[in-house]
Every structure is written in C-alpha cells, then in structure tokens.
A and B are shown apart, each in its own frame.
Chain A
Amino acid sequence: MDLSSPQAVERPLRVAILGSGNISTDLMYKVRREQSLQLIAMAGIDPGSEGLRRAADLGVPTSADGIDGLFDLDDLPELVFDATSARAHLAHAPRLADAQIASVDLTPAAIGPMVIPAVNGDEHRDGMELNLVSCAAQATVPLVAAVGRAARHLRYAETVSTVASASVGPGTRQNIDEFTHKTRKAIETLGGAERGKAIVILNPAEPPPCMRNTLYAEVDGLDEDLLAVEVARMVQRVEAYVPGYRVRGPVIDGRKVTLFNEVEGAGDFLPTYAGNLDIITAAAVRMARQRVAAGAEARV
C-alpha cells in the first residue's frame, strides 16, 4: 500500500467536519491539502464563529445547524470528523451510524475502539466509529508500544505530558481526571503495558512551550539493539503524519527505559507549540486517508 500517492485513487472520499472551533478549523486546512479527501461541508452551531467564516471564505459549504445541517445536504458525507464535545458526540454517533456514515471522534466521548494510527491504524481503517482517545495518548502510546516490542515483558509504563496552558480548552480542564484515565487505559490496552500511569501538566510559560512527553518504562528481558530499531521505526510511522514528532534517548538504567519526546505542530491553523492538538487532527486525517487507500486496494 502506498499512502504517499493519493492520485492513484479514482474518487476522493466525501468528508465533513462537525464543529467550528479551533480543532475543526485546523482539521479543515489539513483535509483540504489531501487530494484523496473532498471536504463537502463544515457544520457548527455558532453562525458567528471564526471557523465557519474561514470555511466560507475558502468556498467550503457551511451550516450553523449542527449535525442537522449535514443531513440537509443533497449528498451525504461518507465520513464525519466530530470535533464538538463528548456530550454532542454521544447524540451524533447513533445518527451517523444509522446513515452508514463513518465517524472519526476527536471528542472525549470514547464510544468506539481506541485508535492510534501508528500503533493500530491498519486494524481499524474500515471502522465506522473511531475513538482518538486523547492527545497525550496519541503522542505517548506509540513510544510505549515500541518499548514493549523490544522487551519480553513491559511491566509498567508511565507518561508525563506537559502542554501549553493556552492549548488546553475548558472541556479538558474540567475533566482532567477522565483525560488521565483514558490515557492510562490506552497505555495499557494499546501500548501493552501491564500497568500504566498518565500524568498531565499544564505550563503557562511565555512563549508557550511545545508539547513535551517523557516515557518511563520498566521492562524485563530488554533487547537493546531491537529497542533502537523499534523506536526509530515508530518515530518514522508517526512522522509520516506529524512531521514535528521528535524523540531523544533511550536512556537505559537497569530495567528502566526513558524516552524524551517533543511534538511540534504543523501550524496549519493552530500555533506550532500546540503539538498536542496537531497530533490529534493529524491522526484524524490519517485515518480518513487510510480508509481511501483501503477502498482503493479493495477495488483492485
């Protein structure tokens, strides 16, 4: 499968964006760059929002009627990116499912299977309800999985994610426990750690710092040569959709393995320091692209 040549695809996938906030706006710029995706609409609930204005300026059809606006379209989308809120997505999900529209969920609703493109994206490329977990999970679980593949047993993995205050919205702030719970669950379920722990720190420094993550892992039966290979391979897989994903280390100290990571965003709409937001919009677009590639493969 060659994801780098979308022109091999005959027909682009018809996609729409639900929500008109910063995440949705960033998604819009990313989607428009993809030849394999056709952005047919952006629907929000605030007619005065900057996101809808920017979409209209670019000639993207917009609606301020939320999901109803999408169902009013003559041709329905095949896939919807939902960047609204957990509560809104819980209402959207059954309607999208009934209409056979695939849903890529960027909210914390957590209905569908957890998906981290670099770790289990292939498994879920035809999925109808994809849950992108959390920004911290998108950044750290690939590293957890890489360490796990180089060890006989990944006993414990602890991630420390520091993000710029300005990049953390009220939804996350008022639900930080849920955020850490979900990230921990992904460390265990997708990363393969027997026990996980996720720590999140907000830093208000000016200028805002890029997202930083540290992974501390405890392993048995580590193959150090394999570790270098697995980490490099994983970084390459993430870099394919997040070019600003950088890793330092590993530092090996007995059974403890440490990796340092920085995520610089692409700066499509969100500022480059907000790598935590960029990695989740990039993951969303990645999953839509994989779907097109899968469809093309199936038709051959």
Chain B
Amino acid sequence: MEPAAGTQVTYLDTSLRDGSHAVDHDFSPEQVRRVVAGLSASGVRYIEVGHGAGLGGSSLLQGRGSYSNTELFDAAAAVIGDSTLCTLMLPGVGVMDEVREAVEHGVGGVRVATHVTEADVAEQHLRLCRDLGLRTFGFLMMTHLAAPEVVAEQARIMEESGAEVVYLADSAGYMTEQGVRDRVAAVRAAISVEIGLHAHNNLGLSVANSLAAIDEGASFIDGSLGCLGAGAGNTPGEVFSVVTRRIGLETGIDEWRLMDVAEDEVRPLMRFPQVIDRTSLVLGYAGVYSSFLLKAKAAAARYGVDAGDILLEAGRRGAVGGQEDLLEDIAFTMAQNREVPVATA
C-alpha cells in the first residue's frame, strides 16, 4: 500500500552530516553555506550539519574534520533562515558540554543516537536537549538487528526521556520493505510522539522503504541530496520529494529547487560517484554499518586483504556503529595469519 494523498511528511536533510562520511569529513564552511542556503530556500525545514559521527566525532577513529563542528554550524546558521539547524550526537563519543556549545553556535535540534538496544545510555542527553529547549530527536541505529518488539521498547525509553521524534535508522541499508513495516508498526503502537526513518541505499530500497514507513505512520524522513552519505548513501532527497509530489504527500518542499541544489551544489562536492558498488552491496547484504565502507577499503589497501572479507567478518562479529577500529584490527590479523608482511615502518 502507498501512503494516502494529503499525508503530512517532514523531510530532514542530512547531506551535510551523513554526507560528511563520503567526503572524508572535509566539508568547508563555504560549501556548507551554499548547500544550507539552497536547502532552506527549497523549503527544507530541518537541516543536519556536522562531522559524520556528530558532536565529538572528529577523531583518529572516525577521521578528523578539516573544520570544527562549530565552524560549520556558524556557516549554516548565517543562512538557514527559518529552518532548524540540527546535528547528531552519540553518547560515548560526544558529551553534553558539546551539546551546550552547539546551541551557542545556532543549533536548534539534536539527534541523540544509540545502538538499537542501548537507548538508556541516551537518557541524560535527551533530557538535557529538552531542558535546553531544543527540538529533541531519539535515533536508534542498526534497527534491523532487533526484533520489532525490542525496537518498540527502546523507542519508549527514548520517548520517556524526552524525545519528540524517535527515528529508526537502517544504518546498514539492510532492511527490505517488510522489515521496515514491522518495526514502524510496532513502534507506532508503543509511543505517541512522531516516528522517523533514516535509510541507507545499499540495496537500492531507500525511497521505497521510506514510503512504507510513512504508510505505517512515520512522519519524518531523512534524505541526502544525490544520496551523498555513508555506504551507498541515504534516501536521495530530490528523488523522494519528486515521488511524494507524484503521489500527493505534503512536504512543503519545492522539489524543482531541491533538484537544482542537488545538481548544482551537492554533486560537485562528491569525491566519487555515489553508487551501489560491490562493497556497498556487501554492507547491505551482511548488515554492516554503512560508515565502515571507506574505512574497510582503506584497511584493505593497507594490509593487502579484501574489503568485502573485512566487512563480512565485522558483520559476523556483530560490530556496531563506532567500531571502525575493529576493521583495521581484522585486516591486521588477517594479514598476519597469511604471513603477508605488514606495512609498518
């Protein structure tokens, strides 16, 4: 079933946050300014900006940002108009002081993200966001790894801690339509706040899965222009907005302007074509975190092993978001076991 015409949907653009993974966390303030201005003028009301791993994400683990989050927030805030500047934080990576600092630089919405079974580590952060008057989002990552009733129970923890919207993230781009429907429906029955879907396009299903989520009661959809994001990227925002126009959903977005922003501002930032290559397919097939893609490729090149093998092993070990360090450990160990000389000095 398709969502009914007239259904209200809010589009949240994450080109400048999830997309950060695809450009090695190298967005400049000028690039952020241009894209944010275009998004805002197109009617996008929530615009996420920052290092791919969010507040405190700049690290040797995830890659250092060429610019600090606060420099990027300042650039965005100057041109964002009435739209809300959002960012992401993972408790255990970022800390609450960084939330307070972000607010001083114009951030008005924070998405507090945990692995799908670990919502209780976000309680203090969600409460802080509400106390600061921020638009407060809970964000459950790697939702495919938990059964619908578990996802529902974790969503309830986030709602009780203050989340005004609870997102289900298909961080591995693993889910097919039924998996999305089952989880959104279970969460819809369990909480009364809004529900969002953050998809990755590793199996080419992101737009279809987003529509399925809306049909089950989700009202926030994440996307990025041209798919720019980790792995094969996110739900392509300009495609999603055209599809919603076709079937009569209300997003408040001028899809023609959004297409221009995708084409003229975001595509030129891409370091490589944002397509579903064979390694992204492994992510989607094996259910591995999308931001592992480029780290696995780098480790593969360094240790002379196969990126797909590294990802499959990471999937076998149940790696969760943030465990990028495991990829090099796996590659290092594979190389040693094969007695291939390691490229140390």
**Interface pair A199/B92, CB less than 8 Å apart:** yes
A160: interface (CB < 8 Å): yes
- The range of chain A's interface size is 35 or more
**Interface pair A174/B60, CB less than 8 Å apart:** no
- The answer, among A158, A181, A214, for a CB contact under 8 Å with B329, is A214
- The answer, among A162, A175, A176, for a CB contact under 8 Å with B326, is A162
Bound-state Cα–Cα, A203 to B332, Å:
21
Which of A170, A177, A258 is most buried by chain B, counting CB atoms within 10 A of its CB? A177
**Interface pair A173/B318, CB less than 8 Å apart:** no
B117: interface (CB < 8 Å): yes
Contacts A177-B95, A203-B320; A197 near B117 (Cβ below 8 A): no
A148: interface (CB < 8 Å): no
- The range of chain B's interface size is 20 to 34
Which residues of A lie under 8 Å from residue B60 when comparing CB positions? 156, 158, 216, 218, 256
- The answer, among B124, B320, B333, B342, for a CB contact under 8 Å with A177, is B124
B319: interface (CB < 8 Å): yes
A205: interface (CB < 8 Å): yes
Contacts A214-B329, A224-B345; A200 near B317 (Cβ below 8 A): no
Interface residues of A in 178-202 (CB under 8 A from B): 180-181, 197, 199-202
**Interface pair A158/B61, CB less than 8 Å apart:** yes
Bound-state Cα–Cα, A212 to B115, Å:
17
**Interface pair A252/B92, CB less than 8 Å apart:** no
Q: How far is the CB of B37 from chain A (nearest CB, A)?
A: 33
Which of B121, B326, B328, B333 is most buried by chain A, counting CB atoms within 10 A of its CB? B121
Interface residues of B in 330-345 (CB under 8 A from A): 332-333, 342, 344-345
Secondary structure call for the A interface: strand
**Interface pair B318/A206, CB less than 8 Å apart:** yes
Q: How far is the CB of A179 from chain B (nearest CB, A)?
A: 8
**Interface pair B121/A209, CB less than 8 Å apart:** no
Q: How far is the CB of A248 from chain B (nearest CB, A)?
A: 6
Contacts A197-B59, A203-B320; A252 near B124 (Cβ below 8 A): no
B323: interface (CB < 8 Å): yes
**Interface pair B120/A201, CB less than 8 Å apart:** no
Q: How far is the CB of B332 from chain A (nearest CB, A)?
A: 6
Which residues of A lie under 8 Å from residue B3 when comparing CB positions? none
A165: interface (CB < 8 Å): yes
Residue of A nearest to B92 (CB): A200
Which of A199, A216, A218 is most buried by chain B, counting CB atoms within 10 A of its CB? A199
A47: interface (CB < 8 Å): no
Bound-state Cα–Cα, A213 to B259, Å:
44
B residues sitting closer than 8 Å to A (CB atoms) are 56, 59-61, 91-93, 95-96, 115, 117-118, 120-121, 123-125, 145, 317-323, 325-326, 328-329, 332-333, 342, 344-345
The 9 listed contacts between A and B (C-beta, < 8 Å) are A165-B117, A173-B123, A180-B92, A199-B61, A214-B325, A214-B329, A216-B61, A218-B60, A251-B344
